[in-house]
Amino acid sequence: MAGAVLEGAEGVLLDISGVLYDSGGDGGGVPIPGSREAVRKIKASGLKLQFCTNETQATRDKFVKKLQHLGFDIAVNEVTAPAPAVCRILKERKLRPHLLVHDDLIPKFADIDKTNPNCVVIGDAADNFSYKNLNDAFQILISLENPVLLSLGRGRYYKETDGLKLDVGAYMKALEYACDIQAEVVGKPAKMFFQSALTEMGIEPHQAIMIGDDIVNDVGGAQQCGMRAVQVRTGKYSRVAEYMAA
Amino acid sequence: MAGAVLEGAEGVLLDISGVLYDSGGDGGGVPIPGSREAVRKIKASGLKLQFCTNETQATRDKFVKKLQHLGFDIAVNEVTAPAPAVCRILKERKLRPHLLVHDDLIPKFADIDKTNPNCVVIGDAADNFSYKNLNDAFQILISLENPVLLSLGRGRYYKETDGLKLDVGAYMKALEYACDIQAEVVGKPAKMFFQSALTEMGIEPHQAIMIGDDIVNDVGGAQQCGMRAVQVRTGKYSRVAEYMAA
């Protein structure tokens, strides 16, 4: 990051997957060289720091523990993630979700009424994206008079240690098309999501810089919100760049 | 069908699933009341008849045998289906496919070179639409300089005896979004597909009537091709109508 980029900045929002580490493998992922030091330096500089992730393969607690284990200086209250945000929405709008999410995320919805569902919540369900499970979600949506699909992000794919993996956005599109509806995205690039991270930090958009590897969800979303943004050349960026050069 | 609709008609194109029968269940499906008689009457009337289906869960041979077993007067050469059409395209364009299709369709591609794939063919793969299989197809597409996705239809869903099921179109959309590409659709509503059925019958578009249960793929596709079209109120039509009235 050049000094000019930081001019007038009070805080930094950091994406996690593809910026701090590449997920996957037995150990749960591999830190990207220099990223642990970068987090320490940002904190030491006096800049405020909030991690802003669309990660929905685990609860925030479990996710943060994994990152701590990988050597990152990170705490649960420093992480803005979609699952707590969607739980607030479900309660406010009295929505009873059918969940199509990763097993590890299910405990997050323990105190939410899920009987007789009147909406579908879709997250990065990975292997839970079976034909049967997607069809179950579809059948619920198509049977509703006003189908509500809440999607924890709209990412196309992400990078794991063994290659690129389809993200929730692809499956969101499948359900949107099958039911002829538009999903409501909770998470990046939704404006409300970035704003909740800024509120957490107590700063205004023009005082913040978002750093991520996704040109649409990180960079585009933050800019739409009035923030500056930097795209790193790690994570999915590097992999696509490799393909382009091949 | 009112007599006026048939005025000047030389031939009829009949959709199969949702028009002649509802697929699924132990016996492979249930004929829709009156449909066997309707096929017999059309043939007895002297009108030409071609069955025009996006069915890709089985080879034409196997599919026709099932329909004969259900009591339909139908022969293999009377059926226009996407798999033979896509095989012609693959050969003409020297494409080597990675297949994401139903197991029963795989023998159709026996004489096609599938080494070192430079395209993906997607059909109604049903339970083969696992996360792993969709991800494998995605990884091949994203690694290609010019990704080619050939889709055997673009249907949203179809009706089986135990409910509505997601069709190939939903998964086509998932891959289109993930890779930021446009699939090439082989099958209804592609103009070329209807034209090959007309060529088989030796008649012109204005002499033909398409009968189907899908407003986009059957009715819209046929009309774009210069044919008249009738939407039946069976198949997916009836199920959606039920929901609307509920």
- The pLDDT score that the predictor gives to residue B166 is 96
Backbone torsion region of residue B100, taken as left when φ is above 0, otherwise alpha when ψ lies between -120 and 50, otherwise beta: beta
SS3 call for A151: strand
CB-nearest to A177 from B126, B156, B164 is B156
CB A35 within 8 A of CB A20: yes
pLDDT of residue B15: 96
Dihedral angle sign, alpha carbons of residues B152, B158, B161, B163: positive
Q: Of A142, A180, A243, which has the smallest distance from its Cβ to B143's Cβ?
A: A243
Cross-strand bridge partners of residue A100:
A122
Q: How many interchain CB pairs under 8 A, A with B?
A: 95
Name the closest residue on chain B to residue A134, using Cα atoms: B166
The predicted structure's pLDDT at residue A181:
97
Give yes or no for B180 touching A (CB within 8 A).
yes
Partners of B29 in beta bridges: B23
Percent of chain A with pLDDT over 70: 94
Range with the lowest mean pLDDT among A50-64, A70-84, B171-185? A50-64
Contact A138 B164 (CB under 8 A): yes
Band the pLDDT of B238: cuts 50, 70, 90: low
Q: Where are the beta strands (DSSP E) in chain A?
A: 11-14, 21-23, 29-31, 48-52, 79-80, 97-100, 119-122, 149-152, 157-160, 163-166, 184-186, 208-212, 228-231
Is A132–B130 a contact, with Cβ atoms under 8 angstroms apart?
Answer: no
pLDDT class of A6 with cuts at 50, 70, 90: confident
**Mutation choice for A interface testing from B57, B146, B166 by most A CBs within 10 A:** B166
Q: What is the pLDDT of residue A162?
A: 86
Q: What is the per-residue pLDDT for A4?
A: 65
The model's confidence at residue A85, banded by pLDDT at 50, 70 and 90, is confident
Comparing CA positions, the residue from B161, B129, B147, B114 lying closest to residue B56 is: B129
Model-level ipTM above the cut of 0.85: no
How far is the C-alpha of B12 from the C-alpha of A81, rounded, in Å? 56
Residue A118 C-alpha, separation from nearest chain B C-alpha, in angstroms: 14
Q: What is the average pLDDT across A14-39? A: 90
**Residue A221 near chain B (CB below 8 Å):** no
Residue A29 or B226, more confident: B226
pLDDT above 70: residue B1: no
**In the predicted model, what is the mean pLDDT of residues B116-133?**
97
Pairing of strands A29-31, A21-23: antiparallel
Contacting residues of A for B174, CB less than 8 Å apart: 166, 170-171, 173-174
CA closest to A158 among chain B residues: B178
* Paired strand residues for A120: A98, A149
Query: Of B126, B178, B243, which has the smallest distance from its Cβ to A166's Cβ?
Result: B178
**pLDDT tier at A238, thresholds 50, 70, 90:** low
Mean per-residue pLDDT for B18-36? 88
Q: Return the higher-pLDDT residue of A160 and B1.
A: A160
Confidence of residue B244 (pLDDT cuts 50, 70, 90): very low
Q: Is the pLDDT of residue B246 over 80?
A: no
Q: What percent of chain B has pLDDT over 70?
A: 94
B243 has a pLDDT exceeding 50 = no
Q: Does A10 touch chain B (CB under 8 A)?
A: no
Instruction: Let me know: does B219 contact B210? Beta carbons within 8 Å.
Output: yes
Tokens of A182: 């538009």
pTM of the model: 0.81
Enter the tokens of residue B143.
């690694």
For residue B30, give the 3-state DSSP assignment.
Answer: strand
A143 touches chain B (CB under 8 A): yes
Instruction: Supply the mean pLDDT for chain A.
Output: 91
Considering only residues A195 and A150, tell me which one the structure prediction assigns the higher pLDDT. A150
Nearest by CB: A178 against B131, B170, B178: B170
pLDDT at A218: 94
pLDDT digits (tens, 9 = 90+) for A159-177: 888 889 999 999 999 999 9
Residues of A in contact with B142 (CB under 8 A): 157, 164, 240, 243
Mean of the per-residue pLDDT values for chain B?
91
**Contact criterion met (CB below 8 Å) for B123 and B138:** no
Taking the C-alpha atoms of residue A123 and residue A105, their distance in angstroms, rounded to an integer, is 9
CA distance A151 to B155: 23
